[in-house]
Amino acid sequence: MLSEPTSNDSGSKSMSDCIFCKIIKGEIPCQAVYEDDLIFAFDDINPQAPVHTLIIPKQHYVSLKDIPEEKMGFISHLMSTARDIAEKKGISESGFRIVLNTGRDSGQDVFHIHFHLLGGRRMSWPPG
């Protein structure tokens, strides 16, 4: 039976070697888009659309299912920031998609929760 990646796989679940935690700390370079006390946004290294920005909490959570109920409040702040970034990047009127991959079947590769903001081209549905 297939299992979710462990710390031995490239998509590590541990905070100490989390690529996105390293980006937040400035240990790995990125194209930063937005930062405040709670969240960080940067352009995806392998963009799937003319605009492809990742928005993440500074706190390390593996995925949506790992956030305790009482800590869910930052999601609304994150969504409103995504909306602001869409506006700043000029895709607010044309439209955009926000994607949150969670777990193996979704294709989640990096195990620090992140929202993809995608836009600038026409997208199809259903997703692949």
Least distance (Å) between residue 90 CB and Zn ion: 30
10 is a site residue for ligand AMP (CB under 6 A) = no
Find, among 100, 97, 117, the residue nearest to 108 by Cα: 100
The distance from CA 16 to its chain's CA centroid, rounded to whole angstroms, is 18
Q: Count Cβ atoms below 10 Å from residue 51 Cβ, excluding itself.
A: 22
Pick the binder of Zn ion from 12, 13, 20, 63 (CB under 5 A). 20
Helices (H), the chain: 19-25, 74-88
**Whole-number Å distance between alpha carbons of 96 and 125:** 13
Q: From Zn ion, ligand AMP, none, which one binds at residue 40 (CB under 5 to 8 Å depending on kind)?
A: none
Minimum CB separation of residue 86 from Zn ion in Å reads 24
60 touching Zn ion, by CB under 5 A: yes
How many residues of this chain bind Zn ion (CB under 5 A)?
5
Give the residue numbers annotated as catalytic, written as ranges. 114
**Sites of contact with ligand AMP (CB under 6 A):** 19, 28, 30, 44-46, 54, 101, 107-110
